[in-house]
Structure 1
Amino acid sequence: MKKAIPNLLFFIAVSVSLICLASYFAKWHWSLDLLSHFRFQYLVILSISTGLLIFLKRKKAILFTPIVLLLLIEILPFYFGGKKVVSTEDSVKLSSINLLSSNSAFSEVIAFVAATNPDILVLQEYNGKWHTALSSISSNYPYQLAIPQENNFGIAVFSKLPFSELKMVTMGSAQLPSIVGEFNLNGTKTTLIATHPLPPIGAEYANLRNNQLAAIAAFVQSNNHETILVGDLNTSSFSPHFKSLLKTTGLVDSRKGHGLQPTWPANITPLRVTLDHCLVSSRLLVKSRKIGERIGSDHLPIVVELGVN
């Protein structure tokens, strides 16, 4: 019995370490990319198992400390730094919600929107029943474009701020609708991109998602204005494809300084990963970033307050 517990801990640590290390080769295969999303979970499991092995005076525990340090180096920056907006008057509040097309908790979503009162509301998985259900709040947003679809890829943008233009665009080979609009953020011309790529389940969908992310990156590079990219990107902050998007565009993950704030799956807290994003130009400052409570969807909503440097 004395050996059983250390042996079990060692087995867990070895197994998680191998899975974690495999996830760093995510660039080469879609299945390894799926493993990259759970870096925080790997850190928790390895920290506990390694700590217990050290407590039990097992010298082999030292084998896992480099992986724990590697994960800490990747995760800790989300909890430090990040520029903050000082004045509330100079900020705009944006909320993004993946509604879940099969979700029927209409009153919960309406209550959440009423409570958070965003200036800009971005909705994914927006279909006909949601278009009808949210008519009571859409009237509060004079600038809007709604594209209801029954295939989980309908999308909508509602805004209290005036947009000079809101239009549907398709980026990437999947030809899914995204919405692009231009507005003034405290006198600064700003482009909003709302999008929802395919989930990377299988090689075909993964390639189509990556293609859409690359097309978005090319669009951002060609855009002369400040940029806000928001939506369920169906990739986590740890995927090499997501990191490539940041590197290519120079956009900043709004999580920096505010924590990981995982959003999916909403009903399984220990497995939650960071699928719902708000990425911003380096001139834009993130005053606050929060995730909302469960509102019937398999995603948690995000609420971000932004300003201009």
Structure 2
Amino acid sequence: MQYIIIGNLALSLFAIIPYLKIDHWSIRFFDFPRVQFLSLNIFLLVVNLNFFRYESWFLVSFSMLALASLYQTIKIIKYNRIYPVEVKSTKQNIPEQEISILVSNVLMTNTSSHQLIKLIKKHQPDILICLETNKRWENELADATKAYQYQVKIPQENLYGMHLYSKLKLSNLNVRNLVENEVPSITCQLQLKSGQNIQFYGLHPKPPSPTENEASTERDAELLIVAKEVKNTKIPCIVCGDLNDVAWSKSTELFKKISGLLDSRIGRGRYSTFHAKYWMLRWPLDHFFHSAHFKLKKIKVLPSINSDHFPILTKLQYQSVAELVHEAPKFEPEDLDEANQTIKQVT
């Protein structure tokens, strides 16, 4: 019985640990496996019912576990089909107003470039953004990306290389190191075939982990710097990449509030992309956020390319009336204060 009580208390604690104002990776980790924790909670609730006792410590721990399960459900329920969608779908075919984007964290040491090349040839995305790319990956993708007139190549050997390939016209291109010198990001304007300009951000901040940054401060600050820029952008906007954060974390929620961007996964599914090799440790790390100017045509996690991430494909359609049917997230003054404080720590 004491082991059940300890399990109840531990899983209850895991639910609220991420809300401690501590940025160390050992705390921020608990943002990620909420689905896995909820599964454990449900299993342990069943065990509790089979060994139910009217004893004070048991009843207290059982009640805490039940509340923790409810809380974990509330955190992830938006990423299920039972929840209303945040981004409306469209079946209209307006090719000149559409944009398809394939994001793939290739895993720099992965030698199966032919797997990604097959997907590029099959889906022929307008935009291809590859992360963790080095010079070898650049060379191996060269033939498959010849059709992409606009190319931004940032090969690096530190797991933070980035390559952007575009069939759409690029302008105002800027490669920046927003927070850390060895971690680049790409900012530019894309032009749809209709002539509509779109502000685009490709990101891959470092995660909080024992082998990377000890704290999440740098990652959070990079996302929030971009969020503040997006807030002041007057044209449609897309932010995508491996953000090394989950969709339901407090930091991603703050990013959405400040930027006002939407997440097309809400009401559809988690679309988990990591870890590709361990199904029990899988969560959404690769993201597409966009302004209310777009409706969704398609979102799909693609087959494995032997990376630790699955590629993910999204197809959006720009519609001038889309803003009228979408409700963009809004921030409170204290949200902006929190964002500014986080940014201040790294600038």
Same fold (TM over 0.5): yes
Q: Which residue type is aligned with residue 74 of structure 1?
A: K
Give the match for residue 123 of structure 1: 130
Contact 2:272-2:285 within 8 A present in 1 as well: yes
Matched, 1:246 2:256: yes
Moved more, 292-301 or 74-83: 74-83
Question: Which one of 187, 212, 216 corresponds to residue 226 of structure 2?
Answer: 216
Counting only pairs closer than 5 Å after superposition, residues 139-158 of structure 1 correspond to structure 2 as: 139-158=146-165
- Cα-to-partner distance string for 1:184-211 (whole Å, 9 max, x where unaligned): 3455321111111112125655322222
CA contact (8 A) 1:144 1:166 kept: no
Contact 2:209 2:215 in 1 (8 A): yes
- Corresponding letter in the other structure for 2:120: V
Q: Give the distance between the partners of 1:9 and 1:191, measured in 2 at CA.
A: 52
2:43 to 26, 42, 48: 48
Q: Which amino acid in 2 is paired with 1:184?
A: Q
Are 1:228 and 1:279, in contact at CA under 8 Å, matched by a contact in 2?
yes
Superposed, 1:1-309 pairs within 5 Å as 8-25=3-20, 28-55=23-50, 57=52, 60=59, 61-79=62-80, 80=83, 81-82=85-86, 83-90=88-95, 91-174=98-181, 176-185=183-192, 186-201=194-209, 206-308=216-318, 309=322
Q: Deviations over 1:238-260 (max 9, x none)?
A: 32222211111111223212211
What is the SS of the residue equivalent to 1:118?
A: coil
Flag the 1:113–1:205 CA change in 2: closer, same or farther, 3 A. farther
Separation in 1, partners of 2:215, 2:72: 28
Distance 1:273 1:73 in 2: 16
Mapped to 1, the partners of 2:280 and 2:63 lie a distance apart of: 26
Amino acid at match of 1:231: G
Larger CA deviation: 217-226 vs 138-147: 217-226
Q: Which moved more, 1:60-69 or 1:106-115?
A: 60-69
Structure-1-length-normalised TM-score:
0.90
Q: CA deviation at 1:62?
A: 3.9
Matches of 2:137 and 2:105, distance apart in 1: 11
Going from structure 1 to structure 2, the CA distance change for 1:166 and 1:88 (only over 3 Å counts) comes to farther
Whether contact under 8 Å (1:20, 1:35) holds in the other structure is yes
Aligned length: 304
Contact kept, 8 Å, 1:26 with 1:35, in 2: the verdict is no
Identity percentage of aligned residues: 28
CA deviations 1:211-252 (Å, max 9, x no partner) are: 222221222223221111011111112322222111111112
Most deviating of 38-47 and 214-223? 214-223
Conserved? CA contact 1:191–1:225, under 8 Å = yes
User: What is the distance in 2 between the residues matched to 1:68 and 1:49?
Assistant: 10
Rounded to whole Å, the distance in 2 between the matches of 1:27 and 1:213 is 18
Instruction: Give yes or no for contact 1:26–1:33 (8 Å, CA) kept in 2.
Output: no
Preserved CA contact (<8 Å) 2:187 2:201: yes
* TM-score (structure 2 length as normaliser): 0.81
Using the TM superposition, name which of 277-286 and 297-306 deviates more. Answer: 277-286
SS at match of 1:237: coil
What is the rounded CA distance, in whole Å, between the counterparts of 1:175 and 1:110 in structure 2?
27
RMSD (Å), alpha carbons: 2.2
The alpha-carbon deviation at position 105 of structure 1 amounts to 0.4
- Code of the aligned partner of 2:176: V
After superposition, give the CA deviation of every residue in 1:115-149 in whole Å (9 maximum; x if it has no partner). Answer: 22211111111110001100111102112211111
- Tell me the secondary structure at the aligned position of residue 143 of structure 2: helix
